[in-house]
Amino acid sequence: LRAPRVTLKDIARASGVDISTVSRSLSGSYGINKVTRDRIAAVAAQLNYHPSRVSRGNATERSFTIGLIVSDVRNPFFADLVRGAADAASAAGYEVILCNSDVDAAKKIRHVQSLLAKRVEGLLMNSVIGLDRTEQERLTVSGPPVVLLNRPPTHSNFSTVTANNEEGGYIAGKYLIARGHQDIEHITGARDRGNFRDRVRGFTRACAATEESRTPVILYGDDSFIGGYDLMRLILARHSEITAIFAANDAMAFGALRACEEAGLQVPRDMSILGFDNVDLCAVVRPPLTIIHQPKYEMGRAAVEMILRALEKKAPYVPEHRQFGVTLVERESCSFPNADSLARKRVHVDVASM
Amino acid sequence: LRAPRVTLKDIARASGVDISTVSRSLSGSYGINKVTRDRIAAVAAQLNYHPSRVSRGNATERSFTIGLIVSDVRNPFFADLVRGAADAASAAGYEVILCNSDVDAAKKIRHVQSLLAKRVEGLLMNSVIGLDRTEQERLTVSGPPVVLLNRPPTHSNFSTVTANNEEGGYIAGKYLIARGHQDIEHITGARDRGNFRDRVRGFTRACAATEESRTPVILYGDDSFIGGYDLMRLILARHSEITAIFAANDAMAFGALRACEEAGLQVPRDMSILGFDNVDLCAVVRPPLTIIHQPKYEMGRAAVEMILRALEKKAPYVPEHRQFGVTLVERESCSFPNADSLARKRVHVDVASM
DNA sequence: CTGAAAGCGCTAACAG
DNA sequence: CTGTTAGCGCTTTCAG
Could B86 and A73 be called an inter-chain contact, meaning their C-beta atoms sit closer than 8 Å?
yes
Of A57-61, A70-74, A334-338, B302-306, the poorest mean pLDDT is in A334-338
Strand partners, A246: A186, A274
CB B327 within 8 A of CB B293: yes
Question: Is B90 in CB contact (< 8 Å) with chain A?
Answer: yes
Q: Which nucleotide is nearest to A58 (CA to C1')?
A: C8
For the beta sheet containing B146-149, the strands, ordered from the edge strand earlier in sequence to the opposite edge, are A321-324, A159-163, A146-149, A123-125, A65-70, A95-100, B95-100, B65-70, B123-125, B146-149, B159-163, B321-324
Burial A321-336, CB ≥16 within 10 A → b, else e: eebeebeeeebebbbe
CB B93 within 8 A of CB B310: no
Cα–Cα dist B344/B346, whole Å: 5
Mean pLDDT over the full length of chain A: 88
Please state the length of chain A: 354
Please state the length of chain B: 354
Nearest CA in chain A to B4: A142
Instruction: Quote the pLDDT of residue A323.
Output: 95
Question: Is B10 in CB contact (< 8 Å) with chain A?
Answer: no
Question: Is A10 in CB contact (< 8 Å) with chain B?
Answer: no
For residue B47, say whether its CB is under 7 Å from any atom of strand C: no
Residue A278 DSSP SS3: coil
3-state secondary structure A3-46: CCCCCHHHHHHHHCCCHHHHHHHHHCCCCCCHHHHHHHHHHHHH
Cα–Cα dist A319/A155, whole Å: 10
Closest by Cα among B324, B274, B327, B333 to B301: B324
User: Would the pLDDT of A32 be above 90?
Assistant: no
- Taking the stretch 150-209 of protein chain B, residues with Cβ within 7 Å of any atom in nucleic acid chain D are none
CB A125 within 8 A of CB A343: no
Residues in A touching B225 (Cβ below 8 Å): 284
Half-sphere exposure of B269 (CA within 13 A, CB side): 10
Instruction: Quote the pLDDT of residue A285.
Output: 86
The string of DSSP codes covering B30-49 is S---HHHHHHHHHHHHHHT-
Note the helical H segments in B48-75. 53-60
Q: What is the pLDDT of residues A179-190, one digit of tens each?
A: 999 999 999 998
CB B275 within 8 A of CB B289: yes
- Pick from A97, A258, A285: which is nearest to B96 by CB? A97
Instruction: Quote the pLDDT of residue B32.
Output: 66
Q: What are the φ and ψ backbone dihedral angles of B135, each rounded to 5 degrees? A: -70, -40
Give this prediction's pTM: 0.91
**∠ Cα B265 B270 B275 (to 5°):** 90
Could A82 and B72 be called an inter-chain contact, meaning their C-beta atoms sit closer than 8 Å?
no
Could B76 and A80 be called an inter-chain contact, meaning their C-beta atoms sit closer than 8 Å?
no
Of A133-142, A239-248, B235-244, B264-273, the poorest mean pLDDT is in A133-142
Residue-level pLDDT, tens digit, chain B, 354 residues:
457 789 998 998 888 888 888 888 888 767 667 888 888 888 888 888 999 999 999 999 999 999 999 999 999 999 999 999 999 999 999 999 999 999 899 999 999 999 999 999 999 998 777 777 777 887 887 789 999 998 877 756 789 999 999 999 999 999 999 999 999 999 999 888 888 999 999 999 999 987 765 678 999 999 999 999 999 999 999 867 899 999 999 999 999 999 999 999 999 999 999 999 988 888 888 899 999 999 999 999 999 999 999 998 866 778 899 999 999 999 999 999 876 666 555 545 444 333
